[in-house]
Amino acid sequence: MGKDRFERNKKRFETTGPLLPKGSRHTLITSSAHRTTSSSFNVEIAPRVETTPARILEEVDNDSVGMEWDAMPSEDFSFNATPDEEEELGRVKVSMKSKAKRYQDSEWKSGYFRQIPIKDIGIHVHLGHRPGQVCERPQQTQGDFVVLTPTGIHDVVVFFCGCNPAIDHKQQLLEVGWWPSSYKDPRSAATFDLLRQFHALNLQSQTPPTDFYRTLEKLSDGSGLSKPPDRLAQFMIMVRQWRHVKMGKRFGRGHDPSGLNGTEQGSTAVLCRSCPQPGINLPLGWEQAPASRRWLYALILAMDANFKQKARSRPQDSLDETLGPGWGCVVNYDSYMAIVKARSHADEISHCVGFSAIWSANSKKSKGLRATGIGAVICARHELFRPNGIGDLQKGERYCNMDAIFLMSVMRLTCLILFISYDIACQWYKNFFTRMHAMPLELHLPHSTSVHFRVPKFHLPAHVQSCHAPFSFNFTEGVGKTDGEGPERKWSTFNNAAASLSMMSHGGRMDTMADQANGHNYDKVIRTGTFLLKKLVKAISESIINARAFAAINDVLKIQFGEHVREWEKQVEAWEQGLSKECPYDRPTASISVSKVKKEMAEENERIQREKGQNEAVVVLANAAAMVIEGIEIEEAQENIQRLTSLSKQTDFQATNILNRRTTLLNRIQRFHKYQIEHIPGITEHIPTITSDDQPEDVVLSLPSSLPPHVRSLIFSKDVINLEDRLRHAYAHEAIDDLTDHLCSRSVAYAHSTRQPASQGAYTKTRAFRDQIESRVKSSEVSYKRHRAALYALRGSGEWERVLRELRPEDVRAMGERTLAAEEREVFRQAQMLAGVSENEIEAALLGADANVPTVEDLNVLSSKGSTASWIWYVAGDRMSTDRRKDIQIARARRAREELELVDEEMRRSIEFCQWRAGWWDAQAIRRSNISPWLADGLQAYASEQSDIERRRGVSWQSSWAPLRMRVADVIKSLDDNHSNPEEMLKRLKVITVELDVEQDSLLEIY
């Protein structure tokens, strides 16, 4: 290169134009990482005359000591120069230091550095040749060429190579890491770095493409004075193409001779590695597993609808086709709609009053919407979307939609047992197989597959009582601690993209949704190591605790009901094996209840009136019954006010509420006394006088139980006394039932409040919820004591006290709780004192005066001397209640044991999947023949990389899980040995240190 070229380059580096990165053969638009072995491009700097203020070099020179020169390209600008010329150029190179990078796309004008477009600097980009080679036939683009980069939107002067017509323009752009916006005469492109960056952001934080593009505009010119060229539409096209091609690359479509066109349905979905995958991660001969072990290879799925994922009708919907129809987690839309349209005429009416999902399906507003939501099927235990497991809902949650989505997600399924969780499974399962047989043959489930329908645990209480036991996961063999609520947790993150997806046209929405689903699935895959490790840590302790808890209650029941225990176990076994239609877990209708007693009393009055006609005796008895019922209800109102007034601090609103309640109660008591005086002779002198100092909640009512025996028999007849006795007996039983229900709620609330709340608001809500439960427990306790005291006044001592015992503070505890030991009571006392609580308040808390006696989780079940549950959980006179609680304890112990074995099996499957996938990638490397050497090298390199990642992942999981999996074997052996002592077993075992990533999602279980 002659002196002219030297002068141009010298002038160029003495100006404030852009400085290229160290060693770069590219412009600022891309990095050398995108350069391929076959081609690259050259950068030519056109001459431009500018005056550079001396202040620039002064500022740089002052901070230049020790700086490394990294602005001057070493290859693209080499030329032959004389020693003097090299010395002069070296002076310029030394003076332009790293601080000048701040001004690499700026010029000095009007006293400051002003940013200018790259094309105005004089940079020309030549494509199609290696660095240093000169193109003999450069072809400049017609008009501006816009390149989108992570640093902004740039106008660039681009010359395509015309030497070889076989290499078209789009190929030249791809070779240097630029994605063309079109395949014919491209005028814009995006760098691979930009597309990769957006793809990652979109999957992680659901950043919409419009927001990302607006960010690029601000990075290009934050002032808004010179808006860059609008390439949003082109960017959307490039993003969609990038996603599609990357999907094919990640699933080996480039290695397959058939290419993308040979892609099968669901073959590009990220599979769950922990679920059973026949031919991949199941042992040989799993189909011949004994009936008692088949549950270990069952597939557990969950299904739900999501009405946040709406889709608006767009004008171009009919023109926008899906790039990968049915290839991933989204159904093949055309096949899916053909099935739905053929069966959309059927009405679906729900007979379960707890849910209105089916009714809303026939009344869902769909005007202006292409879809009112989506339905999805996921694996219930690991929460990955199934292949072809997502589909649009055109008009609510109709059977025709959900049937098609479910059957497409299990197409070509091979398994012996299939569990499906659905919030309306109690209705959906009816006639399911009839509807299935009306669909195409390829959607039919194999006859060898046993299908079981269940309802998620959190949704189940909203159903009618008859749905609870038959559709409960708690009473289902082989599901472990599965709760079926995975879809709800899935929607919490998937819905972040709902607003963006709703505005997309049909094809773009389907492709984006498939990409999002695969992103969610892969995120679950990379967290499988910690996820399963957490589950196993929890499963080991729970299996031991529940087994010993069952042994403790079983010993007690054998003593009290020795002849019935085996009978109950046979009922459970017969129901689980399908030999009995009567579910032993069904909650029996209470044999003693207030409503039943009231109904019996009304029927007796009607019978007496029919037999004897309308006479004074019948009227008196009816009035007496009404009086007793009203008196008991007034006592409940008094009790409620007493509980409100016991609060230490009251707001003005609470005080006003109490005053209003007292006024209402006083009027009610006065009417009650007036009624007694008019209809019960001789009671007037026993009615207390209410003074201005008396509070209504403290007034004693003149019911038979509140009077001395000799007075009671003179004023009230035996029939009236018997009426109150029957009512008090029923109220006492209901109070015990309510108490046990509230104690169960308390156990769950405290079990899930151990982790640190996310905020003060979350802590306040949690605390309020727990206080509400404690208040209900205390209310049921007080109510039982009141009704039992009335019964004792009416009956005296007797056999009935063996059933309705005296309720002491230490009896008010859940099945797995115990009261504080002496040492723990002292620790509790010291902690309360440090918190500033007075001595009287501490004693009241320990006695349960204000709330309830403090309890802790009962861990003594780990010892051979298991603690005994409170008598309220197995009342001697209520065999049905004892029977059910025995069965529930059996179920709890079995589910905990199953969970232990299931998690261990899931770990084995995950490791096997990694090994299989590594071998699969090894086989892909040599599938294509008759290709160029450089393409063969690229395919081999990518397959080797993926194979190595899979092997390293499998080794990592195996080493992380190995210690705990060995511990599982010891625990199972101990549980199977009825003569083993858990304390001795625990002493023999060494302490294992397990590292868990607490930042990852914690487990959520609903009992």
Confidence of residue 72 (pLDDT cuts 50, 70, 90): very low
Identify the residue whose tokens are 């709340």.
Answer: 757
**pLDDT value of residue 79:** 42
Which residues lie across from 191 on neighbouring strands? Answer: 178
**pLDDT value of residue 17:** 36
Whether residue 1000 is predicted with pLDDT greater than 50 in this model: the reply is no
Question: How many helices (H) and strands (E) would you count in the chain?
Answer: 30, 18
Whether residue 118 is predicted with pLDDT greater than 90 in this model: the reply is no
Whether residue 961 is predicted with pLDDT greater than 70 in this model: the reply is yes
Whether residue 829 is predicted with pLDDT greater than 50 in this model: the reply is yes
Q: Lowest-pLDDT range, 294-308, 312-326, 343-357? A: 343-357
pLDDT tens per residue, range 978-987? 666 656 666 6
Q: HEC states along 515-547?
A: HHHHHHHHHHHHCHHHHHHHHHHHHHHHHHHHH
pLDDT tens per residue, range 249-293? 999 999 999 999 999 999 999 999 999 999 999 999 999 999 889
Whether residue 798 is predicted with pLDDT greater than 90 in this model: the reply is no
Confidence of residue 30 (pLDDT cuts 50, 70, 90): very low
89-103, 571-585, 791-805 — most confident range? 791-805
Whether residue 683 is predicted with pLDDT greater than 50 in this model: the reply is yes
Confidence of residue 16 (pLDDT cuts 50, 70, 90): very low
For strands 299-306 and 417-422, give the pairing.
Answer: parallel
Confidence of residue 32 (pLDDT cuts 50, 70, 90): very low
* Closest to 445 measured CA to CA, from 289, 301, 291: 301
Question: Regarding predicted confidence, which is higher, 566 or 438?
Answer: 438
- The answer to whether 781 and 643 are in contact (CB under 8 A) is no
Question: Regarding predicted confidence, which is higher, 91 or 270?
Answer: 270
Mean pLDDT for all residues in the chain:
79
What average pLDDT does the segment 519-530 reach? Answer: 95
Torsion of CA 895, 897, 898, 903, to 10 degrees: 120
Whether residue 463 is predicted with pLDDT greater than 50 in this model: the reply is yes
- The answer to whether 140 and 129 are in contact (CB under 8 A) is no
- The answer to whether 693 and 682 are in contact (CB under 8 A) is no
Which two three-digit tokens encode residue 932?
Answer: 């160029």
Q: Dihedral sign, CA of 260, 264, 265, 270?
A: negative
What average pLDDT does the segment 818-831 reach? Answer: 57
The angle subtended at Cα 571 by Cα 566 and Cα 572, nearest 5°, is 100
- Contacts of residue 762, defined as CB under 8 A and 6 or more positions apart, other chains included, come to none
Identify the residue whose tokens are 């999805």.
Answer: 376
The CA-atom distances, in angstroms, between 512 and each of 204, 208, 764 are 13, 11, 39
Which two three-digit tokens encode residue 591?
Answer: 């044999």
**pLDDT value of residue 816:** 57
Identify the residue whose tokens are 């199609």.
Answer: 128
Whether residue 887 is predicted with pLDDT greater than 80 in this model: the reply is no
25-34, 507-516, 700-709 — most confident range? 507-516
220-256 residues labelled b (16+ CB within 10 A) or e (exposed): beeeeeeebeebeebbbbbbbbbbbbebbeebbbbbb
Confidence of residue 1 (pLDDT cuts 50, 70, 90): very low
- Contacts of residue 214, defined as CB under 8 A and 6 or more positions apart, other chains included, come to none
Which two three-digit tokens encode residue 171?
Answer: 């190929």
- The answer to whether 548 and 862 are in contact (CB under 8 A) is yes
What average pLDDT does the segment 230-247 reach? Answer: 95
**pLDDT value of residue 545:** 78
Q: Dihedral sign, CA of 313, 314, 319, 320?
A: negative
Question: Regarding predicted confidence, which is higher, 34 or 606?
Answer: 606
**pLDDT value of residue 62:** 39
Which two three-digit tokens encode residue 313?
Answer: 């009708």
DSSP annotation of 18 reads: -
Confidence of residue 914 (pLDDT cuts 50, 70, 90): very high
What average pLDDT does the segment 956-971 reach? Answer: 91
**Spatial separation of the C-alpha atoms in residues 700 and 290, rounded to whole Å:** 68
Concatenated DSSP letters of 106-128: EEEETTEEEE--HHHHTEEEEEE
One-letter identity of residue 410? V
Torsion of CA 967, 973, 974, 976, to 10 degrees: 140
Torsion of CA 941, 943, 945, 950, to 10 degrees: -170
Long-range residue pairs from 561-570, CB within 8 A, at least 24 positions apart, any chain = 561/879, 561/882, 564/879, 564/883, 565/886, 568/883, 568/886, 568/887, 569/890
pLDDT tens per residue, range 437-460? 999 999 999 999 999 999 999 888
**pLDDT value of residue 941:** 96
Surface-to-core class of residue 962, CB atoms within 10 Å of its CB (0-12 exposed, 13-18 middle, 19+ buried): exposed
What average pLDDT does the segment 686-699 reach? Answer: 85
Question: Regarding predicted confidence, which is higher, 573 or 914?
Answer: 914
* Closest to 89 measured CA to CA, from 67, 113, 72: 72
pLDDT tens per residue, range 378-431? 999 999 999 999 999 998 889 999 999 999 999 988 899 999 999 999 999 999
Whether residue 859 is predicted with pLDDT greater than 60 in this model: the reply is no
Q: Dihedral sign, CA of 163, 164, 168, 174?
A: negative
pTM: 0.75
Which two three-digit tokens encode residue 440?
Answer: 């195409």
- The answer to whether 449 and 972 are in contact (CB under 8 A) is no
Question: Regarding predicted confidence, which is higher, 673 or 921?
Answer: 921
Q: Lowest-pLDDT range, 55-59, 93-97, 368-372? A: 55-59
Concatenated DSSP letters of 378-437: EETTT--EEEEEEEEESSSS-HHHHHHHHHHHTTT---SEEEEEETTHHHHTTTHHHHHH
**pLDDT value of residue 465:** 79
**Spatial separation of the C-alpha atoms in residues 575 and 929, rounded to whole Å:** 59
Whether residue 841 is predicted with pLDDT greater than 80 in this model: the reply is no
Could you count the other beta carbons within 10 Å of the beta carbon of residue 983?
Answer: 12
pLDDT tens per residue, range 472-501? 998 888 999 999 999 999 998 899 999 999
